[in-house]
Amino acid sequence: MQKMLSYVRRAVDHYHMIDEGDRIAVGVSGGKDSLALLVALSQLSRFYPHRFTVVAITLEMGYDEMDFSPVQTLCDKLGVEYIRVPTQIGPIVFDIRHEENPCSLCAKLRRGALHDAARKAGCSKVALGHHFDDVVETYMLSLFYEGRISCFSPVTYLDRADITLIRPLLYVPEHYVRSFAKRHELPIVHNPCPADGNTKRQEIKDLLKSLEKTMPGVRERIFGAMQRYPLEGWEPDKTRRDYK
């Protein structure tokens, strides 16, 4: 737990993610990333200098086989409020619209529903479970498929939604998230999405895995370049604590 909290606090401090009195919604899909984020922020809230509250929000995608009752049990154990929002996003994307690019529409619908739920819950910030590998993969996706040097930012204010997005796991490697979830027996909910694992992101993930064999540390160098370049919003403020 201490290593996870160290990763998360470093990101929170470097990018000023949390302010006094924040009420933060954690988007919980039931996957390892969002559950690890929920546990980490819940633990961090117990000792972080700025007092803040965590609320877990799950969008039910309209798949009957997804059982979130174990997530409710986890939230009860953590003392975190858990909000479940019924939607029909899954059937809309795959059965009604028959989208050629289902991931794009799905992401748009989920974003809107999550932001609405967060506002109704009195939250001004939404924490998303993007980890270190997600950062590098998103950068490479933009470069290879769009010809742009771009990535989501650690902190993003959405003026239309009046919501600030934060990504506290951005320093946490995926392999550590996986081991953390296993070690703490997090109740991962199986994702029945038909497009799961069959995306351009998976192609980039496989490419980076291959590059890592001949160029060890390639992910870290790409991530470091993003901070040193820096991309907009990616220059860390290391004055708050001295991390080595």
User: Under CATH, domain 2-228 is a member of which superfamily?
Assistant: HUPs (3.40.50.620)
Band the pLDDT of 242: cuts 50, 70, 90.
Answer: very low
Averaged pLDDT for residues 192-200: 70
Domains of the chain, residue spans: 2-228
Residue 93, pLDDT score:
79
Per-residue pLDDT at 14 exceeds 90: yes
Strand order in the sheet with 163-166: 81-86, 52-60, 22-27, 125-127, 163-166, 155-158
Residue 187, pLDDT score:
96
Band the pLDDT of 139: cuts 50, 70, 90.
Answer: very high
Task: Tell me the Ramachandran region of residue 62: left when phi exceeds 0, alpha when psi lies from -120 to 50, beta otherwise.
Answer: left
Averaged pLDDT for residues 161-181: 97
Say if CB 65 and CB 72 are below 8 A apart: no
pLDDT, the chain, mean: 91
pLDDT tens, position by position, 41-99: 999 999 999 999 999 999 988 877 789 999 999 999 999 999 999 988 877 877 776 66
